[in-house]
Amino acid sequence: MAERLSGLLTTGEFARRSRLSVKALRLYDRSGLLRPAEVHPGTGYRRYAEHQLYAARLIVLLRRLDMPLTQIAAILDAGGADAGARLARYWTDVERRLAAQRDLADRLVRSLAGEAVAPAGDWPVATREVPEQLVLTEQRYVTSAGLGWTREAAARLTEVARRHGGPAGPRFVVFHGEVGEDGDGPVEVCVPVPAGAVDPATVAVRREPAHREAYIPVIRGHFEAPQILSVYDAARRWVRARGMTVAAPPREVYAYPADLDHGAPDDLMCDVAVPYA
């Protein structure tokens, strides 16, 4: 009866009708997200106005989207079309993050599925002499989440090479710095072309010096992190164990015809190579 007379709802009634717990209401009061319409000065009892049910129910729905309280507060303050635009931007960001996480999960599934064919001991290391090469090049600062760019760059450079007589050797990707969640390289994609085949004024080219390199063939089961990182470790370890030094950044050399996305766990994907002197 008092609720009807005052036009306000007790905390219990408001919680029941809004589908928010009393504990959540206390939290939202302290944070300023949803303050009671009235707090009795003597008893501290909280009461809410009926029109606040809309905001409370909206909070329930937005929390189901895992939206942080600070962003919910911004939406409540905005209202109307601006609130809708804020929610749309939030959900676009969520979908972008989920897509990246889904891609990571898929790669980890493929990687872990190939773990059964991992060698019992160290990876076998071979060496080779690599002559000087003229290469088409693209370079970018990317974290591990952006490494898909290397495929796009490889496709672009390979198409340019085809218009100038075709690639003169397998494409390779050079890691000039650490690449991870925080490390961003840079990373360079290279496609060799015949000397004099392209005009340096029209495309980015450089000369890759002749060198010796230690390399390890990588199968699909080891192609994703964390396995491929252990392959890099093994190649560097081989160089150091023989009293030699790493002479240039490590790289992945794509000399095999395997499809990067489909195939058997033991398909050869690339060589992890470390130039040494």
The predicted pLDDT at position 123 comes to 80
The predicted pLDDT at position 98 comes to 87
The predicted pLDDT at position 4 comes to 45
Q: Domain residue spans in the chain?
A: 2-78, 126-276
Residue 101, exposed/middle/buried by CB under 10 A (0-12, 13-18, 19+)? exposed
Cα–Cα separations (whole angstroms), residue 267 to 109, 171, 221, 263, 264: 16, 18, 8, 7, 5
**Under CATH, which number does the domain 2-78 receive?**
1.10.1660.10
The predicted pLDDT at position 116 comes to 44
Q: How far is CA 128 from the centre of its chain?
A: 34
The predicted pLDDT at position 119 comes to 53
Q: What is the C-alpha to C-alpha distance for residues 75 and 91, in angstroms, rounded to an integer? A: 13
DSSP state of 184: B
Residue 14, exposed/middle/buried by CB under 10 A (0-12, 13-18, 19+)? buried
Nearest to 177 by CA among 68, 124, 89, 251: 251
Non-local CB neighbours of 16 within 8 Å, separated by 6+ positions: none
The predicted pLDDT at position 115 comes to 53
Mean pLDDT per 10-residue segment, the chain (277 residues): 63 93 94 93 90 94 94 91 93 87 76 55 87 97 91 95 94 94 92 90 92 95 83 93 96 93 87 97
Q: What is the C-alpha to C-alpha distance for residues 270 and 267, in angstroms, rounded to an integer? A: 10
Print the SS3 string covering 97-153. HHHHHHHHHHHHHHHHHHHHHCCCCCCCCEEEEECCEEEEEEEECCCHHHCCHHHHH
Tokens representing residue 270 in the block: 């690339």
Which amino acid is residue 167, in one-letter code? P
The predicted pLDDT at position 274 comes to 98
Residue 95, exposed/middle/buried by CB under 10 A (0-12, 13-18, 19+)? exposed
Instruction: Sheet containing 171-175: give its strands across.
Output: 126-130, 211-219, 268-276, 251-254, 171-175, 187-193, 133-140, 205-208
> Percent helix, strand, coil in the chain (nearest 5)?
45, 25, 35
Q: What is the C-alpha to C-alpha distance for residues 215 and 133, in angstroms, rounded to an integer? A: 18
**Under CATH, which number does the domain 126-276 receive?**
3.20.80.10
